[in-house]
Structure 1
C-alpha cells in the first residue's frame, strides 16, 4: 500500500515545515555533512524529539538514520519521518549526493520510486557561516554565540548557538518567542556531531552522531536500488 503520498514531494521541494496530527511539524535539523574527499566514514544520526500536543500530551520519539560518505565525497543519508506512528513500519527516505555523477538521488523505499536531479555545485558546508546570520524581517532578532570546544566520544568539536527571537504576530503568535539552534562541528571531517534545537512550535530536538568509524562504506548504497521506478522531479513551488 502506498503511504505518505505527497510527503516526499514536499520534502524534495525542500520544504522543512509539514503538518501532522493537526499541529505544525518542523522537520528536525539534520546533521550536516560537507563534500570532503579522502575522508570516508559511516555513522548513525540518532534524533530524539519531545513534543507537547494541543491536548497537553507529551510525546517522545527517537529515530536513527544511517549516514555515510565515501572517499569520492559521495554522501548517503536516511531520513525517517519522526511522527511515524507504527514503529514496526517506519516511513523513511534516502537522499544521496553524488559529486562524481553530478546528481542527487531521492529514494522512496515505501513505493519503490526514485527521483534523480542534476547538481551544479558542490556542498561546502561551513558551520562558521551561521555566526554571520542576520535578521531579515521587521521585529525579529538574531543573536549568535561561540561555545568553544568540547569532546564527543573522543572527537573534538567546536560549538555555536543561534537564538532567534520572533515578535508577537509574525506567525499568528500572541506573544514573542525564541527558537534556539545549537551545533557542534568537527572541522577536520567536515561534519556535525551534535545538533540541538528548541522551538515552541515543534518542541525539543537533539540529534547526535554516534557509532562513527572511518570505514569505507559499501559502494552500492550510492546507486539507485534495482527494480525501482524512476519518476520526474516534482514541480518546485514559488517562494
Structure 2
C-alpha cells in the first residue's frame, strides 16, 4: 500500500493552542483548516467553540486508497459532534473500518473543550484516561493565505442539511519532476463552509497518487445538545497535562 499521511489528535490540540485569542469571521475564500490529504487516522471536522450556535450532527468519512496493484481499498467511519450555547464542543474520533462493516466503529477518542475555562480534554476509552490541559488562549476560526501554486475557484452558494453553505475549489498542479509518477498531476480540495454553524459541512480531497477522501456533516439538529456530552464520564482518571509556567 502506498504511504498515506497519519494525523493524530495531538495536531488538532496544537492547532487550538496556536490560534489567535479573539474570535473572528472567516474571510471570503478561506477555510477552517487546510485539508492534509488521505489519512489512516482522521480527526474529523474542527468544531469552532463559538457561543449562541448550538447544534449536534454526525460526520461521515469515506476514504479510498489506491493500492500498488492498481486496486482500491475503501474505508469509512462515523463521528458525532456537538456544540452548546456556551460554545462548549464535543468531537469524536472513531476507527476507520471497511465499507462492508455493519455496526458502529470503535470509539478511539473524544475531544471536549470549554471556551470559558479554556479547558481542553481528550478522553481515551481504551485507558479511561482524561488528558486535561488549560490552553493559554482561546481558538478562533483561522484564515490561511494560499501559496502561489494553488489556484482557487469560487463554487458559489448552496444548501446542505438545511444550512446555507459557500463552496470553494482549490487545485494544485504537481510537476512531473516531483510527482513520483513521472508525469504532472493535479490535487483537488473542495470545501463547503457554513458561516452560520462556523464549520465545514463538506470536504473532498483527491490525489491520483494516494486516493480520495470525503468528509461530510449530516443529521444536523439545531438546538441545545445533552449537557452530559460535555462532561468527563464517571470512571475516567484525570491527567493534568497543562504546561508549567
Which bracket does the TM-score occupy, shorter chain normalised? 0.7 to 0.9
Which of 70, 79, 85 is matched with 1:71 structurally?
Answer: 85
Q: Write the distance in 2 (CA, Å) between the matches of 1:93 and 1:171.
A: 34
Per-residue Cα deviation, 1:95-139 (whole angstroms, up to 9, x for no partner): 11211221211111122122112212323225xx34x3114xxxx
* Superposition pairs of residues 164-183 of structure 1, within 5 angstroms: 164-168=172-176, 170=178, 174-183=182-191
* 1:100 and 2:116 correspond: yes
Which of 181, 195, 203 is matched with 1:187 structurally?
Answer: 195
Which of 8, 11, 25 is matched with 2:9 structurally?
Answer: 11
Aligned length: 215
* Superposition pairs of residues 200-211 of structure 1, within 5 angstroms: 200-211=208-219
Worse overlay, 110-119 or 70-79 = 110-119
For 2:205, the equivalent position in structure 1 comes to: 197
What is the DSSP-based 3-state SS (H/G/I as helix, E as strand, rest coil) of the residue aligned with 1:32? coil
What is the DSSP-based 3-state SS (H/G/I as helix, E as strand, rest coil) of the residue aligned with 1:100? coil
**Distance apart, 1:145 and its partner CA:** 1.7
Which of 48, 67, 74 is matched with 1:53 structurally?
Answer: 67
Which of 155, 171, 190 is matched with 2:163 structurally?
Answer: 155
* Superposition pairs of residues 103-118 of structure 1, within 5 angstroms: 103-118=119-134
**Distance apart, 1:199 and its partner CA:** 2.1
Q: Normalising by structure 2, what TM-score?
A: 0.74
What is the DSSP-based 3-state SS (H/G/I as helix, E as strand, rest coil) of the residue aligned with 2:53? coil
Q: Residues 31 and 194 of structure 1 are in contact (CA less than 8 Å); yes or no, is this contact kept in structure 2?
A: no
For 1:122, the equivalent position in structure 2 comes to: 138
What is the DSSP-based 3-state SS (H/G/I as helix, E as strand, rest coil) of the residue aligned with 2:46? coil
Residues 1:28 and 1:200: Cα distance change in structure 2 (over 3 Å): farther
Which of 138, 145, 162 is matched with 2:153 structurally?
Answer: 145
What is the DSSP-based 3-state SS (H/G/I as helix, E as strand, rest coil) of the residue aligned with 1:220? helix
Q: Write the distance in 2 (CA, Å) between the matches of 1:164 and 1:224.
A: 42
* 1:134 and 2:151 correspond: no
**Distance apart, 1:47 and its partner CA:** 1.0
Per-residue Cα deviation, 1:211-234 (whole angstroms, up to 9, x for no partner): 101121122221222222334659
What is the DSSP-based 3-state SS (H/G/I as helix, E as strand, rest coil) of the residue aligned with 1:12? helix
Unpaired runs of at least 5, structure 2: 1-5, 15-34
Q: Write the distance in 2 (CA, Å) between the matches of 1:144 and 1:117.
A: 37
Per-residue Cα deviation, 1:52-79 (whole angstroms, up to 9, x for no partner): 2223332222211000000010111111
